A = this chain, B = another copy of it.
Amino acid sequence: MERTTGRALRADAERSVRAILEAAERVLAADPAASLEQVATAAGVARTTVHRRFANRQALLDALADSAARQLAQAVGDGRPETAPPLVAIHRITANVLQVKGAWTFALQLPPETGSEAAALHADVHRACLALLARAREDGLLDPGADLEWTSRVYYALIGESLREAGEPDALAARVVETLLHGAGKRD
């Protein structure tokens, strides 16, 4: 987490940083132009505390993006994309990602700074996703002619759409996977 010197932060400082990041996600999701004063109030700290922990507004946004990207990468990794059977992995990852994205919607759509940890993590996640879709195609889950780049973007878009409503992650994930594989056309 955020450090000032070589030593780790005190526990209360860790709590403040976490509270600030969580408040930033909520407040900025509602209004991306919200002030640092509003974020501080929502976090239950003084604005000087926000400035103490984050050099400036951009640094706070960067920390938000990095933190959320770490959680996304963790969610994808927990779905064992490289080893579980493709359909199982896709379903599990979808449910995991829905939860993380639901909690960090704003943070995860921030364009990551070039060279940042968030950018690297997002690239890793995308690579893992493409590899999983390639395995799915090899296993006959996807059409042999499926364009994986387009398919991965459709997959992300379906996840994004599912976030717009409340629901049980597994049920929402099932619908995402069903739609990804079969669309809305007539079932044979």
Contacts and interface: CB of A to CB of B under 8 A. Distances in A.
A154 B184 contact: yes
Given A33-B33, A153-B161, A160-B157, A185 B182 contact: yes
State the number of copies, please. Answer: 2
Contacts of A145: 187
Interface in A135-188: 140-146, 150-151, 153-154, 157-158, 160-161, 164, 175, 179-188
Nearest to A182: B183
Contacts of A153: 161, 164
Contacts of A157: 157-158, 160-161
Given A32-B32, A153-B161, A180 B184 contact: yes
Given A32-B32, A158-B154, A183 B188 contact: no
Contact of A183 (B33, B161, B180): B180
Interface residues of A, number: 29
A161 B159 CA distance: 13
Contacts of A144: 186
A157 B157 CA distance: 6
B146 A154 contact: no
Interface of A: 32-33, 140-146, 150-151, 153-154, 157-158, 160-161, 164, 175, 179-188
21 contacts: A32-B32, A140-B186, A141-B185, A142-B184, A143-B184, A144-B186, A145-B187, A150-B161, A150-B175, A153-B164, A154-B158, A154-B161, A154-B184, A157-B160, A180-B183, A180-B184, A181-B183, A181-B185, A182-B182, A182-B183, A183-B183
